[in-house]
Amino acid sequence: MSTNGQLLNFINGQWQRSSASQYLDVTNPATARVMTRVPLSPAAEVDAAVQAGLQAFTEWRRTPVTDRIQYLFKLKNLLEEHLDEIARTITNECGKTYAESVGEMRRGIENVEVACGAPSLMQGYNNEDIARGIDEHMIRQPLGVVAAITPFNFPGMIPLWFMPYALATGNCFILKPSEKVPMTSQKLFELLEAAGFPPGVVQLVNGSKETVDALLDHPGIKAISFVGSTPVAKYVYSRAAANGKRAQCQGGAKNPVVIMPDADMDAATRIMADSAFGCAGQRCLAASVAITVGEARDIFTEQIADAAASRKVGYGLDEGVEMGPVITRESKARIESLITKGEQEGARVLVDGRGKQVSGYEEGFWVFPTVLDSVNPEGEIARTEIFGPVLSLMHARDIDEAIELVNKRPYGNMACIFTSSGATARQFRYEVDAGNVGINIGVAAPMAFFPFSGWNESFFGDLHAQGRHGVEFYTQTKVVVERWPREWSRKF
Ligand code: NAD
Q: Which of 24, 185, 204, 227 to mutate to test the pocket of ligand 1 (most atoms within 8 A of CB)?
A: 227
DSSP structure class, residue 228? S
Domains and CATH numbers, the chain: 2-251+458-479 (3.40.605.10), 255-439 (3.40.309.10)
Element (H, E) at 426: helix 422-431
Which residues sit with their C-beta closer than 6 Å to ligand 1?
Answer: 149-154, 176, 178-179, 208-209, 212, 227-229, 232, 235, 250-253, 284, 385, 387, 413, 452, 454, 458
pLDDT score at 488: 85
DSSP string, 453-479: --EETTEESSS-BSHHHHHHHTEEEEE
DSSP string, 153-170: S-TTHHHHHHHHHHHHTT
Region 119-133: what's the mean pLDDT? 98
CA distances (Å), 174 to each of 1, 147, 305, 444, in order?
Answer: 17, 5, 44, 29
Cα 163 to Cα 144: distance, rounded to the nearest angstrom:
13
pLDDT score at 2: 63
Is 94 assigned a catalytic role?
no
Confidence grade of residue 381 (pLDDT, cut at 50, 70, 90) = very high
Residue type, 195: A
pTM: 0.97
* Cβ neighbours for 420, distance < 8 A, ≥ 6 positions apart: 260, 262, 263, 264
Could you identify the atom of ligand 1 that is nearest to the CA of residue 387? 31
How far away, in angstroms, is 161 Cα from ligand 1 center? 15
Confidence grade of residue 489 (pLDDT, cut at 50, 70, 90) = confident
Element (H, E) at 255: strand 255-259
How many C-beta neighbours within 10 Å does residue 283 have?
Answer: 24
Could you identify the atom of ligand 1 that is nearest to the CA of residue 231? 2
Could you identify the atom of ligand 1 that is nearest to the CA of residue 454? 41
The per-residue pLDDT for range 309-366, each reduced to its tens digit, is 999 999 999 999 999 999 999 999 999 999 999 999 999 999 999 999 999 999 999 9
How far away, in angstroms, is 485 Cα from ligand 1 center? 56
Q: CA gyration radius for the chain?
A: 24
3-state SS assignment for residue 386 = coil
Helix axes 183-195, 83-94, angle to 10 degrees: 160
CB 327 within 8 A of CB 365: yes
Could you identify the atom of ligand 1 that is nearest to the CA of residue 152? 26
Confidence grade of residue 5 (pLDDT, cut at 50, 70, 90) = confident
Q: Select which of 94, 172, 284, 416 is catalytic.
A: 284
Distance between the two ends of the chain, CA-based, in angstroms?
60
* Cβ neighbours for 492, distance < 8 A, ≥ 6 positions apart: none
How far away, in angstroms, is 230 Cα from ligand 1 center? 8
CB 460 within 8 A of CB 155: no
